[in-house]
A = this chain, B = another copy of it.
Amino acid sequence: MKRYLLAPGPTQVPPEVLLAMAQPMLHHRAPEFVTLFKEIREDLKWLFQTRQDVLTLVSSGTGGMEGAISNFLSPGDKALYVNGGKFGERWGKLCKTFGVTGIEIKVEWGQAVDPQVIADALKKDPTIKAVYVQASETSTGVAHDTRAIAEIVRSRDETILVVDAITALGVFDLKTDEWGIDVMIAGSQKALMLPPGLAFVSVSDKAWRLADKAKNAAFYFNFKKERDSQQKNQTAYTAGVSLLVGLREVFRILKAEGLGNVFARHARLAHATREGMKAAGLSLFPKQNPSDALTVVSAPDGVDGQAVYKNLREDYGITAAGGQDHLKGKIFRISHMGYIDTFDVIQALAATEMVLKGLGYPIKLGAGVGKAEELLLKK
């Protein structure tokens, strides 16, 4: 049985990128590395839509999240965070670990945060130093309105906005500088089409000023130290050379397609997936703002979402994702970010129809696929 990866990270890696990474190992202190890293640093600014430095770290995205707490806040500082899913929840745990007073904005899973709630909270307590939010909450498939939130935070000189864009960067538009996102975090294994192992963090001048005052332990994820190294096209610790060689190839692909086209492709494929699922008689889990990174489907009555996830893998070779925590069994999740095109969506829908039919759910085989075909037809 052929195997397919349609999980929300790690995602599929293009063959050109796999080939690039299979080249003989480059040493991270060799002159060629400096040339490579200089090029990548410029391309990261292009992708992040920023003139600020974008730091590259050898870690998963969570390392970037940790650094985005420890580098900017001191024990006793207050931070507002949006908890609308598994990844929002993580901000709370990180605050606790670093002695930061986390003020939670609890959002029902499947809903997007109301930006006004953030505005009210900041007005009520002007000493809040940072706002933490996901651009795309991977556990629920909801996109929070980063632009509206940035609009609220940018007017405050003493408060930064930190955005987890791990499943958002390279999927939909995020104008770091124009909107005023102070810190934005991404990971290699999502729309960047690489294996896991790299995190990327952009840092604004406002955030660096906050970092100057922060008193928290940060050795490995020390952003200032990395900034000083990386401005010289070096890394503080051993660089993830193979992944960076792969990333150069990823940028060739992304730049050839063009950022606007990359976003349009994700929007088109996400739309076709959602409409296909609906045409197959299924309901989407997000109540509003579905993320274009992945489609989260509610398991229909009488069907165990985990069985869908399990049968997709065991009967059809497709690794997608189930639900986490209280959503376990209630949903299944299918990614369409990164190295994804028309027939990944067709496959996801056909397999979903077949799995549900196999589980005894009355579904018209081909109905969802037919809808997606209609939406993805080239004129």
Given A2-B339, A341-B2, A343-B351: A371 and B377 interface contact (C-beta under 8 Å): no
Contact present for B379 and A358 (CB under 8 Å): yes
Tell me which of B358, B370, B373 contacts A377 (CB under 8 A).
B358
Q: What mask results when residues 20 to 45 of chain A are scored 1 for a CB within 8 Å of chain B, else 0?
A: 00100000000000000000000000
A346 CB–B CB distance under 8 Å: yes
Q: Which residue of B lies closest to A344 (CB)?
A: B2
Contact present for A378 and B354 (CB under 8 Å): yes
- Kindly name the residue among A339, A344, A353 whose own CB sees the greatest number of chain B CB atoms within 10 A: A353
Give residues 123-181 of A contacting B (CB, 8 Å): none
A8, chain B: closest CB distance, angstroms: 19
Interface size, A (range): 35 or more
CA A296 to CA B41, docked complex, whole Å: 51
A115 CB–B CB distance under 8 Å: no
Q: What mask results when residues 364 to 379 of chain A are scored 1 for a CB within 8 Å of chain B, else 0?
A: 1111111101101111
Give residues 327-356 of A contacting B (CB, 8 Å): 339, 341-344, 346-347, 350-351, 353-354
Tell me which of B1, B358, B370 contacts A341 (CB under 8 A).
B1
Contact present for A378 and B365 (CB under 8 Å): no
A373, chain B: closest CB distance, angstroms: 4
A4 CB–B CB distance under 8 Å: yes
A307, chain B: closest CB distance, angstroms: 13
A317 CB–B CB distance under 8 Å: yes
A374 proximity list for chain B (CB < 8 A) = 357, 365
Contact present for A373 and B378 (CB under 8 Å): no
A315 CB–B CB distance under 8 Å: yes
A218, chain B: closest CB distance, angstroms: 40
Contact present for B353 and A378 (CB under 8 Å): no
Contact present for B343 and A350 (CB under 8 Å): yes
CA A367 to CA B350, docked complex, whole Å: 12
A346 proximity list for chain B (CB < 8 A) = 346-347, 350, 369
A316 CB–B CB distance under 8 Å: yes
Tell me which of B4, B365, B376 contacts A370 (CB under 8 A).
B365
Q: Which residue of B lies closest to A265 (CB)?
A: B1
A379 proximity list for chain B (CB < 8 A) = 358
A339, chain B: closest CB distance, angstroms: 7
Contact present for A370 and B366 (CB under 8 Å): yes
Contact present for A366 and B371 (CB under 8 Å): yes
CA A366 to CA B371, docked complex, whole Å: 8
Contact present for A370 and B373 (CB under 8 Å): no
Give residues 240-271 of A contacting B (CB, 8 Å): none
A342 proximity list for chain B (CB < 8 A) = 2, 316-317
Contact present for B370 and A364 (CB under 8 Å): yes
A347 proximity list for chain B (CB < 8 A) = 343, 346-347
Q: Which residue of B lies closest to A1 (CB)?
A: B341
A18, chain B: closest CB distance, angstroms: 9
Tell me which of B317, B366, B376 contacts A354 (CB under 8 A).
B376
A279, chain B: closest CB distance, angstroms: 9
